[in-house]
């Protein structure tokens, strides 16, 4: 089955620790995205990647970092510099950096205490 997987589903960390969220897709999509969702709010774009070895900041990139070494993988690191890291994180992909449909993973809920 083609799709996007995110792991883990739930993640708990202590304040001050970096944590990496996994996102893998087997849709052969060039573009991938990371969004953050807070309760009662829409999604906000953190980072996106149009192609392997390239990525751009979204609207709320501060305190986050990404890499895109393989087409199918786009991990997100939440660093200790992110002031309010507790949130629901969603990964998405699309066939290209074009205005086409985006496909979303099931999300990772990160709780930092």
Binding site for another protein (CB under 8 A): 4, 6, 31, 33, 40-45, 48, 50, 58, 88, 90, 92, 94, 96-107, 109
Contact 53, 67 (CB under 8 A): no
- Least Cβ distance, residue 80 to another protein (angstroms): 26
- Least Cβ distance, residue 45 to another protein (angstroms): 6
Beta strands 108-112 and 10-13: pairing type?
parallel
DSSP state of 41: -
* 80 vs 102 by CB, closer to another protein: 102
- Least Cβ distance, residue 53 to another protein (angstroms): 18
User: Which residue is listed with tokens 């953050």?
Assistant: 36
Measured distance CA(76)–CA(112) in Å, rounded: 15
């Amino acid at each position: 089955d083609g799709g996007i997987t995110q792991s883990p589903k739930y993640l708990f960390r202590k304040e001050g620790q970096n944590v990496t969220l996994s996102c893998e897709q087997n849709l052969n999509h060039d573009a991938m995205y990371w969004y953050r969702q807070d309760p009662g709010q829409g999604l906000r774009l953190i980072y996106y990647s149009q192609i392997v070895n390239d990525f751009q900041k979204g609207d709320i990139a501060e305190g986050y970092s990404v890499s895109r070494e393989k087409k199918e993988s786009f991990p997100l690191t939440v660093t200790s510099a992110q002031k309010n890291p507790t949130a629901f994180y969603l990964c998405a992909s699309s066939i290209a950096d074009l205005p086409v449909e985006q496909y979303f993973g099931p999300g990772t809920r990160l709780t930092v205490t």
